[in-house]
Each structure stands twice: as C-alpha cells, then as structure tokens.
C-alpha cells in the first residue's frame, strides 16, 4: 500500500494585466528547493527558469511566457503569502548612516501600483499610432551584473523598441511580428525623439509591485522602497 496523497488547498486571484481569474496552490518542498537553489546561484538564467517552473507548477492553466513582468511580481508574492506566510523580514544598511535596519513587511498590504498617466497607445503623428506590449520575463537580460553600463543601456533600448506590438494607421492594424527585421528597424529608426520619450514614459509608469515601509534612524524618518523586478530577489 502506498503512502496517502497530500491534498493542497486552492486559492484564486486575478492576473493584474488581464483581470483573468486563476487558481493556484501553495508551493511545496519541491518548489521551495527550486527557488532556494536559484537564489543561492545568483545566476539570472537560473532565477528566471526557477520563477517559470514554480509559477507553471503552482498555477492552473497559465502560460508563463505570456505574463508581464508585473504579473509575475504579483503572482510570486501572493504565492509566497499562502505558502510560507505573509511576513517578510528585510535587513539592509541605511546608506546615509551605515546603520543596520530590520523591517517587517506584511505581503497582504502589497498591491500593484498604477499611474494615471500610463498609456499603451502612443501617437506617432496625426495618422499613425503604436500600441505597446508589456515586457515579459525573458526580456530581463539587462539585469545581468556582468554588463557594462553601455551594454545595459543598449539592452534596455532593445527592450523598449521590442515593446512595439502594433502600428495603427486609420483602420489598418499592422502586427510588427509579421514584418522582417529590416522593415521593423527602418520603422523604428524613423521614430521621432518625442515618440521615443513617450515609449520611455510607458516603461516608467508601467504598473508594478511597490513596497514602501517607513523606518527611523535616530530622530529621522525615512522610507524604504522595493519595486518592480527587485521583488523577484526578496
């Protein structure tokens, strides 16, 4: 006779970018081991693979590669909450005083921060608009520690330009994936500096998980902030 099978509770949440409801279970020793090995490796490829494995294992009927980075930030924190608890202890050194600080974060208080100025449709001229898509987890190459500043900026620019999903001209909608690399590059190289600035603003105002916590050093009040992909490494 085999050992009894352990039943795990199911939870439901909404994917922030689509409002689609999905079910998920807490992660088990198997997923915790995957995460621990990835974190200890400090290798970006390992961390990305671990995130995809854990989300794929614990969430039902979900395409991990289609999720935006802020979807993954949110799903991982909610998954952690039901798996190991809602409290995270953060230890860091205050940059000004060099004092050690310990903070307790309640993950139940964490939500997606949205900006009113954020927009996915950008006017290129009086006849043409572009629609931008949110970056996916495979676009995080710019986080690699070994990159020079110039290499990091080049990769960030590539991610920004790669976010152009559609070109809309009147009633015509063009999918950039249907065009050759040369045609896409010609289009991108013809964009004005204002359009590039608007694309940059899209990334700066993109929804993100943001954690803010006040703390005191001496008599001075300060705020500790973790946001965006930084939350992957908490």
Domain limits, the chain: 11-112+208-233, 115-204
Is residue 77 within 8 A of residue 69, CB to CB? The reply is no
In 3D, which of 105, 110, 102 has the Cα closest to residue 73?
110
pTM above threshold 0.75: yes
Q: Which of helix, strand or coil describes residue 129?
A: strand
pLDDT 10s per residue in the chain (234 long)? Answer: 677 777 889 999 999 989 999 999 998 888 888 888 887 877 888 888 888 999 999 999 899 999 999 999 899 889 989 998 888 888 888 888 888 888 888 888 777 888 889 999 999 998 999 999 999 888 877 777 777 888 888 888 888 899 999 999 999 999 999 999 999 999 999 999 999 999 999 999 999 888 888 888 888 888 888 877 666 655
Is residue 191 within 8 A of residue 161, CB to CB? The reply is no
* Contact residues for 109 (Cβ-Cβ < 8 A; gap 6+): none
Q: Residue 225: beta bridge partners?
A: 212
Q: How far apart are the C-alpha atoms of 104 and 85, rounded to whole Å?
A: 12
Alpha helix (H) residue ranges in the chain: 29-41, 44-58, 69-84, 149-162, 181-189, 193-204
Q: How far apart are the C-alpha atoms of 84 and 119, rounded to whole Å?
A: 36
Q: Beta 112-113 vs 100-106: how paired, if at all?
A: unpaired
Q: How far apart are the C-alpha atoms of 26 and 78, rounded to whole Å?
A: 9
In 3D, which of 111, 5, 11 has the Cα closest to residue 59?
11
Q: Quote the pLDDT of residue 1.
A: 67
């Amino acid at each position: 006779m085999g050992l009894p099978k352990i039943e795990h509770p199911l939870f439901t949440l909404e994917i922030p970018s689509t409002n689609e409801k999905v079910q998920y279970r807490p992660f088990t020793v198997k997923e915790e081991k995957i995460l621990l090995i990835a974190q200890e490796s400090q290798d970006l490829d390992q961390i990305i693979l671990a995130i995809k494995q854990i989300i794929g294992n614990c969430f039902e009927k979900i395409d991990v590669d289609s999720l935006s980075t802020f979807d993954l930030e949110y799903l991982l924190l909610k998954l952690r909450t039901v798996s190991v608890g809602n409290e995270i202890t953060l230890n860091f050194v205050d940059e000004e005083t060099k004092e050690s600080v310990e903070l307790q974060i309640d993950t139940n208080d964490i939500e997606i921060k949205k900006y009113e100025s954020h927009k996915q449709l950008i006017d290129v001229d009086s006849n043409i608009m572009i629609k931008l898509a949110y970056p996916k987890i495979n676009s995080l190459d710019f986080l690699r520690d070994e990159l020079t500043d110039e290499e990091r900026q080049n990769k960030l620019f590539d991610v920004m330009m790669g976010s152009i999903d559609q070109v809309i001209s009147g009633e015509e909608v063009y999918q950039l994936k249907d065009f050759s690399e040369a045609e896409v590059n010609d289009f991108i190289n013809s964009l004005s500096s204002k359009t590039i600035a608007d694309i940059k603003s899209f990334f700066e105002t993109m929804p993100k998980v943001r954690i803010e916590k006040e703390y005191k050093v001496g008599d001075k009040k300060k705020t500790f902030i973790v946001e965006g992909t930084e939350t992957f490494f908490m």
